[in-house]
Amino acid sequence: MTHLAKTIIWILIAVLGASAVGGIALNRGESINALWFITAAVCVYSLAYRFYAAWIAARVLVVDETRATPAERLNNGHDFLPTNKWIVFGHHFAAIAGPGPLVGPTLAAQFGYLPGTLWLLFGAVLGGCVQDMVTLFLSTRRDAKSLGQMARDELGALGGSAALLATFAIMVILIAVLGLVVVNAMKHSPWATFTVAATIPIAMIVGVYMRHLRPGQVLEASALGVALLLLSVAGGGWLDDQPSLRGGFDHEGLTLAWWVMAYGFAAAILPVWLLLAPRDYLSTYMKLGTITLLAVAILFLMPEVKMPALTQFIDGTGPIFGGKLFPFVFITIACGAISGFHALISSGTTPKLLSNERDIRMIGYGGMLLESMVAMMAMIAATVLDPGVFFAINSAAGAVGADPATAVATISAWGYPVTVEQMQTLAQQMGEATLFARTGGAPSLAVGMASIFGSAFGDGLLAMWYHFAIMFEAIFILTTLDAGTRVGRFMLQDMLGNIWPKMGETSWTPSVIVSSAMVVSAWGYFLYIGVIDPNGGVNILWPLFGIANQMLAAIALSVATGILIKSDKLNKAWVTGLPLVWLIIITSTAAWEKLTSSDVRIGFFAAANDLSSKLAAGSLPVEKAKIAPQLIFNLHLDAYLTLFFVVLLWLIVLDMLRVAVRHVMGKPVLPLTETPHSPSLLEAEWVRD
Amino acid sequence: MRKRLKRVWQGIRQLSGDDAYERYLQHHAAHHQHEGSAPLSKAEFFKRWQDRLWSGIKRCC
């Protein structure tokens, strides 16, 4: 193609993208077609990938395709192994895309579709993708070292310890909030509970098959597993109609929470091949399959988005979580826009497979673009619902009233009409007893997905689609839960090993049991509080997770900015510096509001004081008075945790600035730890066949 | 067309690890033949491969 033709095509893409973004932003009609969102995303992402990412790769990082990567230099046939770039992309994407990009946008939809959509588009191309790509590059140049190791080597001991602590803290909060999402999806739903429970023996069957019956036949075993999963969705429907059996799967949230904790503990101590590895296979296939299906359905059906662009809840009075649009939309949507967790995959794991530096743009930047696209589809699935229905599903009883009549009255009074009959019909269609106050995002996403799938592939199977969607979300939430508990256990064993070396032995049974129990109790505590909290728990836990995740992103961007400045690229350090400044602003503001706000739905201390005074005055109902002391303690704990996160963040940023200023003034700093250049001997054709 | 489908299938096998043992045998033949050690059996190889795959952070939010 001639240069001119290419230029014209890119100009057309730019015009189309600008019109789509403009159309989304300025539309004030009754509804807007979802195709606009997809168009805007595809155009913005392509432009960013073609120009911004290419510029960063060529001019800021200066990737060098003649340079041997760690995979080539340290090739040992297993850990370090030059791999085809599409295969690396597949592994990288499967590793970074978890349930986060599905839950965050669903919750943030309470502000209307616009804020979340814009943050997904621009947060990803200017922040998240840059973080992932730069971290991947830096780790590739440093023998595939982890983020924590790079922080220690380049900034000092503080950065390294902070990264470790932040990772552990995120893991605990993340597992708790994801556990809560699953519990809320299973609460009093025998169908969902049976299907989710069935994933455990199914994973074990697949595990035994792969390990013992037909060793190494991964695809065969996975196909069997996927078939059994689909069967379990149908089986749940059958079970739901059997009065004698359904009682066994009809439970309160708290009972389910105990089961989730018991499961987490078992998964952390059982061998990986039995549960974790096969479950991971199944969840990866389900994830890729369902997301592709959703994309096809959206393109085919072109549903109308019914949520307004902005709702009145941008003033901070939202029923799903309290807090103003700024900064809380940026905290609520982490995964999909910028997620610090990705820095852990981009450093350490992926660089060991990378065969050539020129693929860093595609894998680092491109992988995150795809995740952002997934988040965009979750946003569409949440906003195609009638706003009244969306709020009825997602608002906790504490926010809108416990009985259906009060809830619909409250929500209709906000200007989002919904009736009890409408909710009952919907619940019946979905095969559920009720859809009121099913907080956490999973049920409303499942209703959205079921209605999209139902309209695209036939309306008769709505209940089946709904429970398929629940199973799909639950299976990889549980995978994150198992994997996270296990990683947390290893980290804890490592830390305890410094005090008592015997504890550091990862296969010493007493150490395994004690450290697993400690990790499970840590997240189990937050899960327990989240379940008993009448305001739904998600209201507290999700912002806490967002703050922690953004803090980890800030650590990764600090490391990157520090290294860029040390490499005498001060004039280009804004590439990571600007997203870093933005993260510092939003994280600090959010933390400040969480600590000092006098609104009981936002401020931790305000809520604690309010509860204490009501308890003292005896104005609480008996049930609430019983749990009040626990809730008060928890609110204080959350407040100190937030304070701890934000102090840690500032320490790292100041430490990075100290290093940067010293370098600019010509004073000695820790030397760059980049591995010297050695020429790549790999034939390009050989790796890319 | 058939060639392309075959390549996609190969990609799927490689991504899932379905062909890991075949690739190991090739690697062994190319690099470790002279050491005179026999390659691992499929079951033994798969055991080690799977256990190694699951050390460290592999999954995200």
* B3-40 pLDDT tens trace: 999 999 998 898 888 888 988 888 888 877 777 778 88
Note whether B60 contacts A342, CB cutoff 8 Å: yes
Note whether A211 contacts B61, CB cutoff 8 Å: no
Chain A positions touching B24 (Cβ under 8 A) are 77
Cα-Cα-Cα-Cα dihedral sign, residues A450, A451, A455, A456: negative
Q: How many CB pairs under 8 A join A and B?
A: 102
Chain A positions touching B31 (Cβ under 8 A) are 77
Q: Mind telling me how many Å the CA of B10 is from chain A's nearest CA? A: 10
Taking every pair of C-alpha atoms in chain B, what is the biggest distance, in angstroms?
A: 45
Percent of chain A at pLDDT above 70? 99
Residue A686 has pLDDT above 70, yes or no: no
For chain A, give the mean pLDDT: 92
Residue A352 has pLDDT above 80, yes or no: yes
State which residue of chain A sits closest to B29, comparing Cα positions: A77
Report pLDDT for A77: 75
How many CB atoms are located within 10 Å of the residue A425 CB?
11
Residues of B with CB under 8 A from a CB of A: 11-18, 20-21, 24, 27, 31, 42-43, 45-47, 49-61
Report pLDDT for A688: 43
Instruction: Say if residues A593 and A327 touch (Cβ distance below 8 Å).
Output: yes
A658, amino acid identity: R
- Compute, in degrees rounded to 10, the torsion defined by CA atoms A524, A530, A531, A534: 160
- Which among B11, B13, B61 has the least Cβ separation from residue A341? B61
Report pLDDT for B28: 85
* A45-56 pLDDT tens trace: 999 999 999 999
Cβ within 8 Å of residue A3, ≥6 positions away: none
Instruction: Say if residues A317 and A539 touch (Cβ distance below 8 Å).
Output: no
State which residue of chain A sits closest to B7, comparing Cα positions: A689
Stretch (H or E) spanning A632: helix A622-664
Note whether A222 contacts B52, CB cutoff 8 Å: no
- Which among A174, A218, A349 has the least Cβ separation from residue B57? A349
Q: Mind telling me how many Å the CA of A246 is from chain B's nearest CA? A: 32
Residue A685 has pLDDT above 60, yes or no: no
- Judged by a CB distance cut-off of 8 A, whether residue A281 touches chain B is yes
Q: How far apart are CA A635 and CA A649, in angstroms?
A: 21
State which residue of chain A sits closest to B30, comparing Cα positions: A77
Report pLDDT for B27: 83
A372, amino acid identity: S
Stretch A263-267: mean pLDDT, rounded? Answer: 93
A534 burial type by CB count under 10 A (0-12 exposed, 13-18 middle, 19+ buried):
middle
Report pLDDT for A683: 61
Note whether B60 contacts A95, CB cutoff 8 Å: yes
Report pLDDT for A557: 97
Chain B positions touching A487 (Cβ under 8 A) are 56-57
Q: How far apart are CA A6 and CA A526, in angstroms?
A: 54
Q: Which residue bears the tokens 């909060």?
A: A173
Structure tokens at A277: 């590895």
If you ran DSSP here, which 8-state letter would residue A99 be given?
A: S
Stretch A270-292: mean pLDDT, rounded? Answer: 89
Note whether A281 contacts B50, CB cutoff 8 Å: no
Stretch A106-122: mean pLDDT, rounded? Answer: 97
Report pLDDT for B26: 87
Instruction: Say if residues B15 and A237 touch (Cβ distance below 8 Å).
Output: no
Residue A375 has pLDDT above 80, yes or no: yes
State which residue of chain A sits closest to B14, comparing Cα positions: A87
Outline where A97-128 has alpha helix (H).
100-108, 113-123
Stretch A445-456: mean pLDDT, rounded? Answer: 90
* A392-428 pLDDT tens trace: 999 998 889 889 999 999 999 999 999 999 999 999 9
Long-range contacts of A608-614 (CB under 8 A, 24+ apart): A608/A632, A608/A635, A608/A636, A608/A639, A611/A635
- Judged by a CB distance cut-off of 8 A, whether residue A276 touches chain B is yes
Stretch A465-470: mean pLDDT, rounded? Answer: 93
Note whether B60 contacts A480, CB cutoff 8 Å: yes
A212 burial type by CB count under 10 A (0-12 exposed, 13-18 middle, 19+ buried):
exposed
Q: Mind telling me how many Å the CA of B36 is from chain A's nearest CA? A: 18
> pLDDT grade, residue A667 (50/70/90)?
very high
Q: How far apart are CA A109 and CA A107, in angstroms?
A: 5
* A121-179 pLDDT tens trace: 999 999 999 999 999 999 999 999 999 899 999 998 888 888 888 888 888 998 999 99
* A535-585 pLDDT tens trace: 878 888 999 999 989 989 999 999 999 999 999 999 999 999 999 999 999
> pLDDT grade, residue B52 (50/70/90)?
confident
Note whether B57 contacts A334, CB cutoff 8 Å: no
Interface of A with B in 621-680 (CB under 8 A): none
Instruction: Say if residues A306 and A384 touch (Cβ distance below 8 Å).
Output: yes
A421 burial type by CB count under 10 A (0-12 exposed, 13-18 middle, 19+ buried):
exposed
Note whether A77 contacts B31, CB cutoff 8 Å: yes
